[in-house]
Amino acid sequence: MTNPAFKPWILGLTGGIGSGKSAAAQHFIDLGVHLVDADNAARWVVEPGRPALAKIVEHFGAQVLQANGELDRSALRRLIFQDPEQRRWLETLLHPLIGQEIISYLARAESPYAILVSPLLVESGQYKMTQRVLVIDAPEQLQIQRTMQRDSTSEEQVQAILKAQASREQRLSHADDVLINDRDPAWLKSEVERLHHFYLTLRGGQP
Ligand code: ADP
């Protein structure tokens, strides 16, 4: 039976592109850990019928809507690209809403701890919503190789994304735990299992 007073502590899970965040997250899900992805929360807050979408349309006009009433992300991206003032306007609107969305989702979690997966955990300040941070880390060359294979994209494109993200040093400076994902998938799985058993011993994310 669930105990209404029970509140899971929150683990932040992050890593650069191609580090293996999503693969690690899937292993935690398989172990029964409840999880929310910040990228999904960012999509949910602009779904049709949500107040943020109405505000975006009021600000930018109907050009940011698709025919079916959903947000046209690429149109919006084009509008804020190279316009820092508009970008800031959008971030000021969405940032707190995404935070609230994550909090309300995690409030319903019923595993002993719950996970916030966010590629930009450090950059966005979302790490402040967590009690502990796990960084998935891999040598840059492996990150590039894996992303090129996954997304059939060029090395230059991956490099550009890497450059826009926090540096490995910035990310690691916020880490409580680091999983070095430089071996095969079985190793990643066994490391996630090891960390999971450790996390089950923690209260509030601390030993
Ligand atoms: P991220 O979510 O951090 O961008 P993914 O979890 O999508 O990264 O991993 C990038 C790609 O590398 C995926 O195709 C994934 O299946 C693969 N991958 C992840 N970890 C390993 C590993 N240890 N060995 C081989 N391939 C891996």
Give residue limits of the domains in the chain.
9-33+113-207, 40-110
Distance 7 CA to ligand 1 centre (A): 31
Tokens for 157?
A: 């494109």
Is any atom of ligand 1 closer than 6 Å to the C-beta of 118? no
Give domain 40-110's CATH number out of 3.40.50.300, 3.40.50.720, 3.40.630.10, 3.30.565.10. Answer: 3.40.50.300
Nearest alpha carbon, ligand 1 atom 27: 185
The preferred substitution site among 150, 152, 181 for testing ligand 1, maximizing ligand atoms within 8 Å of CB, is 150
- Which residues 6+ apart lie within 8 Å of 69 measured at CB? 48
CA of 32 to the centre of ligand 1 (A): 20
Q: Whose CA is nearest to atom 26 of ligand 1?
A: 185
Per-residue pLDDT, 62: 96
Cα 100 to Cα 103: distance, rounded to the nearest angstrom: 5
Angle at 19 between CA 75 and CA 24, to 5 degrees: 100
| Residue 175 in tokens | 């880490």
Pick from 3, 27, 24, 6: nearest CA to 15: 24
pLDDT digits over 66-124, tens only?
999 999 999 999 999 889 999 999 999 999 999 999 999 999 999 999 999 999 999 99
Give the CB-side neighbour count of residue 179, counting CA atoms within 13 A.
29
22 CA → ligand 1 middle, Å: 7
DSSP-assigned letter for residue 121: T
21-58, pLDDT tens digit by residue?
Answer: 999 999 999 999 999 999 999 999 999 999 999 999 99
pTM for the model:
0.93
Q: Is the domain defined by 9-33+113-207 classed in CATH 1.10.730.10?
A: no
Please tell me if the CB atom of residue 145 comes closer than 6 angstroms to any atom of ligand 1: no
Ligand 1 contacts CB of residue 17 (under 6 A): yes
Query: Would you say the CATH fold of 40-110 matches that of 9-33+113-207?
Result: yes
DSSP reduced 3-state for 182? coil
